[in-house]
Amino acid sequence: MGPLLCLLSAAGFGAMPIFGKFAYDAGVSPSALLLVRFVLAALILAGLLAMRPVPRPGTRTVVVALALGAVGFATQATLYFEALRVMDASLLSLILYTYPLMVTAAAVLLRRDRMTRSRGLALAVASAGTLLVLLGAGAGALSPLGAALGFGAALTYTIYILASDRVLQSVSPVLLATLVMTGAAIALAGKSMITGGVDLGFGAAGWFWVACIAVVSTVLASLTFFAGLRRTGPSTAAILSTVEPVVTTTLATVVLGEFLTPAQLIGGVLVLASVAVVQLRPRRVRRPLIAVRSTVDSR
């Protein structure tokens, strides 16, 4: 069941940009999508916690977790969905999936992990793959703004993971997810009040697709990953999670009519293979920093 749960999680996360594209077509703005997503996810997770209470964390842990959601997760999600508005879902998924390698590089620089020959090779191959993904689009086929926002989302998520990795050791994953979602919802609600509010007058189709993002690609995807993580271990779970951009690319091709050039496909394979190589070697430091969603996903 462990691997199956991880694959179901990857499928849920991989479907999120497809749901997002449909939500945009239904008239939902990025700000409305994000606000509704996090409010719904926070309410659902809070209901689950009410049915199965966990030990209460300290005040400092609660404040830090809320801040992670308000600053880290809300920012990452905003960058991601703004990028999704101006570029293909398949290409964005490959750009975002450079974050596990960013986490590895940052962990080494911060002396929270050590550089090995296989990790150095993986980082080099991933860099070459990312370059192929970008250059393979051809002249005028890639939105520079979208790519910048996508890499910004990956970088922000890297920082978020490095920060939340420490918090996760003192609080249950589901409780942390609830606090993070709540923090993100509060931050986005505050932003909407400052900027004049968000338009929630879109139709039933828009609500349906946003609900899919909140339920399928946030709550269910996170909980199935946590369940799979307990059964398989972080390295196996992380490797199985590389299916996510494959799911996104496949769905984008079939449903949205998007396609990647041969060079981009090769580049994507190189990036995903590098992520798998990084996870294959056992780590000698405490908790793995790149168990890609040992905290909360997001995007």
Mean pLDDT over residues 142-162, rounded? 88
Compute the radius of gyration of the chain from its Cα atoms.
Answer: 18
Looking at every residue in the chain, the average pLDDT score rounds to 82
How far apart are the C-alpha atoms of 273 and 294, rounded to whole Å? 20
Q: Which residues lie below 8 Å from residue 287, measured CB to CB, with a gap of 6+?
A: 165, 168, 169, 234, 294
- Of the candidates 96, 106, 111, 108, which has an alpha carbon nearest to the alpha carbon of residue 153? 96
Residue 237, pLDDT score: 66
Residue 283, pLDDT score: 47
pLDDT of residue 40 exceeding 90, the answer is: yes
Pick the more confident residue, 211 or 143.
Answer: 211
pLDDT of residue 2 exceeding 90, the answer is: no
- Of the candidates 64, 48, 2, which has an alpha carbon nearest to the alpha carbon of residue 228? 2
- Comparing 62-66, 236-240, 266-270, 273-277, the range with the smallest average pLDDT is 236-240
Pick the more confident residue, 145 or 124.
Answer: 145
pLDDT of residue 147 exceeding 80, the answer is: yes
Please report which confidence band the pLDDT of residue 290 belongs to, taking 50, 70 and 90 as the band edges.
Answer: very low
Mean pLDDT over residues 105-116, rounded? 76
- Comparing 122-126, 192-196, 216-220, the range with the smallest average pLDDT is 122-126
Residue 139, pLDDT score: 45
Pick the more confident residue, 187 or 175.
Answer: 187
pLDDT of residue 47 exceeding 90, the answer is: yes
Q: What is the dihedral of CA 31, 32, 35, 38, to 10 degrees?
A: -110
How far apart are the C-alpha atoms of 256 and 91, rounded to whole Å? 13
Total residues belonging to the chain: 299
Q: Tokens 């979602």 correspond to what residue?
A: 181
Residue 165, pLDDT score: 65
pLDDT of residue 294 exceeding 50, the answer is: no
pLDDT tens, 251-283?
888 898 888 778 878 888 887 787 777 666 544
How far apart are the C-alpha atoms of 215 and 26, rounded to whole Å? 18
Task: Answer for the pair 164, 54: CB distance below 8 angstroms, yes or no.
Answer: no
Amino acid type, 251: L
DSSP class of 70: I
Please report which confidence band the pLDDT of residue 230 belongs to, taking 50, 70 and 90 as the band edges.
Answer: confident
From residue 159, alpha-carbon distances to 100, 170, 241 in Å are 11, 19, 19
Q: Residues of the chain with pLDDT > 70: what percent?
A: 84
Residue 280, pLDDT score: 62
Pick the more confident residue, 124 or 254.
Answer: 254
| Alpha helices (H) along the chain | 2-25, 30-51, 59-67, 74-86, 89-96, 99-109, 117-135, 144-167, 173-194, 204-214, 221-232, 234-240, 243-251, 262-280
Task: Answer for the pair 125, 274: CB distance below 8 angstroms, yes or no.
Answer: yes
pLDDT tens, 188-214?
999 999 988 889 999 999 999 999 999
Please report which confidence band the pLDDT of residue 150 belongs to, taking 50, 70 and 90 as the band edges.
Answer: very high
From residue 50, alpha-carbon distances to 42, 73, 247 in Å are 12, 23, 33
Residue 197, pLDDT score: 85
Tokens linked to 129:
């793959």
Mean pLDDT over residues 176-186, rounded? 91
Pick the more confident residue, 230 or 99.
Answer: 99
